[in-house]
Structures are given as structure tokens and as C-alpha cells.
Amino acid sequence: MKDDFVRLAEENDSLFSFSYENVEKLTEVCVCFYRKLLLRKSFSDFSERRSQLAKYVRKFHGDAGTLTPRIGEAIKNLENDSCLLLMTAHQPNLFPYSGVLRKATLNHVLAKKLSESLEVPVVSFFGVADQDFTDDRWVKSALLPDVDRRDGLLELRFDMPERLVLNRVAKPSRIILNNWRNEIENWIDRKLSSIKRDCASLELQFSYNADHTESFKNFWALVEKAYEQAETYSDFNAFIISRIINDVWGYDTLFSRFSECQKLFEREYSHLLKRFDKYSRYVKEATEFNPNSNRGVYKDELNTLPFWYHCSCGSKAKLKVEQRDVSIIGKGSCIRCGKEYLFDFISKHEPQISGITSSISARSLSMPLVFFHGLGICCYVGGIGGTEYLKQAQFVANHLNMIFPPVVVWRPQDVYLGVGQLDALMVYRKLSGTFDFSQYERIKDILQRKIKEAQREIEEIEEQKKQLFAASKRSREEQIQNLKSLSIRQNEVRRDANFSVLVRNLRLLENVDAVMGLHPCIVDYVVNVGLKETSEQWIAFLQSNGNLCSNIGLRSRFDRPAHNFLDEN
């Protein structure tokens, strides 16, 4: 007889695609899952684990300075046997892009709808993946739109040693922190000056108030508080995220570091080891679903233990499995220092891992397995980058009869006019003669054809140079004179076609497109939309529209001055 959760997944394609038409549909599926979970398990089965989690949650918020009365109440609800628990997780990225924070907004709105529908306490949990590696670009890089920069991006960056886990890296120096602030303030000034200058040259009106200055000042005060509270780079970023979500937005979202709360799942890890033969087989089948995908786990995951072992050097060891009679062996070396490890878990029927529980952490595929099953999660808000991992994990969970809740990925494009976007539009206006962005491809095609025509002439002359070298009958003086003439002709072609300007204009045009399509870091929202206003508009969209597949139009503080001239053109 099929398990209820496998049957539920088969009845609802969204559980595999992680796509829902709207919040109402997502709410319905979560209600259904919650009721089926109650039929299978009493929520008291999760109470011990949740009570332990509550201690780590309280510790995080105490460290971050966000242990508000609302957080205290949510912690009490977490320990309530009837509590419905929602979850999301992410690495503690530098000034994270909107998608990281938007996860908490969706869970916040969903929690209210579920609480009203089921009349039970609903808690949102945000796991901080502070044991991920430093190699990922987004944990050390934040992007702002800047049409004048390479690829249309201003990058705020923190360089770290590779192959370390994030919580082993010290927070940035005061010099680096001040440099980031100066870069951002300089970016704001440059963009506004450029917009005003271009408007003046086109005889367009552009005036604005200074709300963005106060908004950024308040945000940076938040950054400074997080900096004072933190010792590590991961905490610095996580505290910023918590202060935005808990203090500025007022959500009762509960945070915990993975490095602390993953110690709770000894039973789940043991469960996977006991059934490692089946786990390995289903991992293999899961990776074969989409063999050409460069996302998700690789095929060799089937021979890997479902957890990392943490080395004293600050990195991790990937443990390969060896089975000897009834024993299961984990063997591997640290990917940074090379130190070798070998663990004998005695018996695969009753594996002994209590001695290393404090030094292990879940791998990408096993993280949802242990958290969902151990805590009784009823919905998980994932990210676009983790979709393939989650699909693979869902396949394994269903075949191992483990809890796997509805998963949703919400990644719209926020459409608004900020200083970076407006500056890019002014550049587009100068290049195309219009603000009509639907003409972009036509303008780009014209530029590319002009460049191609000039390049063809230049290359033809270059070929003549080669032929001249090959002709041995001419005297050296005559060859040199002819080469000079051909070089002069090449320069004339470049000058007549305005070649360098064409190339620069094409680069700028491509940068315009990059700016308009960018998912920028939260600083862009602070300056242009307002931090609190961003949350308010996301919530309003979810409550009034609720479409999880469409883009979102946001009001910015530059809408009115921009539309003064955009509407006229």
C-alpha cells in the first residue's frame, strides 16, 4: 500500500515542479499536507527536537540582538505540540539579493493564512547555512546596477580563503566596511549626477527629495549594529538578515545557525545509514532523471555518506562508504588540508554516530531529508539554485517513506525605477533616441551591423597586408611604404565608421540590458524603494494578487520625477 505522502505527491504535480499558481493554492496544499501528517504522526513526536531547536533559536537571537517579545512568543509556539512549522534556509550572503529575504516574506504571509484556516499556531523557521563553503560567489559578493561599469555591475566584494566554512572566517575589517559604505554613497552620487546632467542636455525636468539619503543612513546604522554584535563573517551577514526581517519588517521569523541545530538529527542520520543500500540506490536513480543538468548532486553521491565531517582546519571531509560484512565505514580526506579520516560505525543495522554528531553537517541532498523528517516541516520555501537538489531529495524521501512537505520557489523579477535603472534608461535614450525599450533589439541589431561592416573592411585590408608580405618581388622600401598606406586606410575606415564609438555604444547598450534584468542586492531596495516599503509592497502583492509566477511592479521614490519625462516621451 502506498504511503500517504507518496500518493499526495502523485496527485499534485506542483509537489514535483515546486510551482504554484498563487498563494491560495499553496495554502490549500499545505493544509492538506498538515492533516495527512497528523494522521501519520502525532506532533508530539517532534516536540523533543523542536524544544532543542528552540534553545538554539533563542541563542541566535540573543547574539544578534533581535530577541524581541514577538520572537519570544514564536519560540513558545514552536514548543506547542500542535504547531505547524514552515521552513526556509540560505547561506548568509553579503547584503543579500531580494530572493533571500523574499523567502521570509512568503512564509510570513503563508503562516497567517494557515493559522486562520487551521486555527493552530504557525511558526516560520529560517536556517542559516553557516557551514557552507566560502567558494560560492554570492556569499562574498553583492551587486548594484551601474551601466558605466563592466557588465553593467558594481560589485561589492569580500575576498576569503577558499575551501573554508563560512563560520570560520572573521568578520571584515573596519577599513573594508567603511570602503563598502563609501562605494555605495559614491555610486548614489554618480548615478544622480549623471541623470541630472543627461536630463539637462535633453531639456527634461528631474527633481527629487532626499528620502534615499535618510533611508541609507538608517540601513547603515543597522549594518553597524550587526557588525558590533558579530565575531564571524557568517554572523555579520546573518545578523543583518535577522535585523531586517525581525526588526525593520517586524516578522516573527525564527533563526538558527545550522552549525548549532544540525546536532539535533542523530536519529535521522542513523536512519539513513541503516538503510544506506536503499538510500544509495535511490540517489543513483534520482541523479539519472536529468543527467545533463549541471545542478543537483553528482552521480558519485550514491557512494558518499549523507554528511560532511568537519576538520579542525576549518574545512570539511567528504566521506566515501566502504561496507565490510555488517560494518559500514566512512573514509575520506579534508578537501583543504588533506588530513585523512576513517570512521567505523560498527554495524549498519545499529550505526554508532553519537561520538561525531557535533562534527558533522548535512550534504545538499540530505539536508532536507533530516530537517523535514526530524522537525515535521509542513512547507519549505526554496531558491531557484537549489531546485534540482530538492527534486532529487524529494525522490529519495518518497522512496524511503520519509516526510517531504510541499516545496515552493518564488523568484519574480521586481520591476522598479531606481537610480541605476534610470541612469541606464538615459544612456539608452542617448543611444536610441527613445525611451521605448521595446526597440532595444532593433537598435542593437543596427549597431552590430555597422560594426560588422567596418570590421569586414578592416579585415580585408589586413588580408592585403599579409599578401604584401608574401610578395617577394617588391623591394623592402616599397613594401614598407605600401604597408603604411594600408594602415592609413584602416585608420580611415575606423574613423569614418566611428568604430571605437560604435563598439563602446554596443557595450553600453548591452550593459543597459544587464542593468534592467539584474536581481540586485538589498542595498538597491534600501536606496530606491525603502527597506520597510519593500516588505509592505511584497505583502500587498501576495495578499491582493498572490500570483507566484508573475513579476512584481514596485513603487520607488523616483517614480514621480522619472515619469515627468518618461510619460512625455
Asked whether the CA dihedral 19, 22, 25, 26 is positive or negative, the reply is positive
Looking at residue 474, its pLDDT comes to 65
Locus of grid cell 614598407: 480
Sign of CA dihedral 72, 73, 76, 77: negative
Distance CA 513, CA 153 (A): 11
DSSP strand pairing (84-90 vs 407-409)? unpaired
Model pTM score = 0.93
Q: Quick one: how far is CA 296 from the chain centroid?
A: 15
Three cell numbers written together for 526: 534600501
Kindly report the CA angle at 158 between 191 and 362, in degrees rounded to 5? 125
Long-range contacts of 483-490 (CB under 8 A, 24+ apart): 486/461, 489/461, 490/458, 490/461, 490/462
Report how far Cα 553 is from the mean position of its chain's Cα atoms: 20
How far is the first Cα of the chain from the last one, in angstroms, to the nearest whole number? 66
Domain parsing of the chain, residue ranges: 4-133+259-414, 432-518
On whether the CB atoms of residues 352 and 330 are closer than 8 A, the answer is: no
pLDDT in tens, 143-202: 999 999 999 999 999 999 999 999 999 999 999 999 999 999 999 999 999 999 999 998
Note the pLDDT of residue 8: 44
Q: Give the separation between CA 295 and CA 271, rounded to whole angstroms.
A: 26
- Report pLDDT for 2: 44
Burial class (CB in 10 A: 0-12, 13-18, 19+), 362: buried
Q: How wide is the angle at C-alpha 318 spanned by C-alphas 381 and 277, nearest 5°?
A: 80
Helical pair 387-399 and 366-375, crossing angle rounded to 10 deg: 60
Buried b (16+ CB within 10 A) or exposed e, 6-37: eebbeebebbeebbbeebebbbebbbebbebb
Only one residue has cell 566521506, namely: 319
Angle between helices 174-201 and 419-432 (to 10 degrees): 40
Counting beta carbons within 10 angstroms of the beta carbon of residue 385, is it exposed (0 to 12), middle (13 to 18) or buried (19 or more)? middle
Q: Please, which contacts does 321-326 make with residues 24 or more away whose CB atoms are closer than 8 Å? A: 321/276, 321/280, 323/276, 323/348
Q: Are 307 and 269 in contact (CB under 8 A)?
A: yes
Cβ atoms < 10 Å from Cβ of 406: 24
The segments of the chain whose pLDDT lies below 50 read 1-2, 4-6, 8-15
User: What is the per-residue DSSP string for 332-381?
Assistant: EEBTTT--EEEEE-S-SSS---TTTGGGEEE-TTHHHHHHHHHHTEEEEE
> What's the pLDDT tens digit per position in 7-25?
544 444 444 568 899 999 9
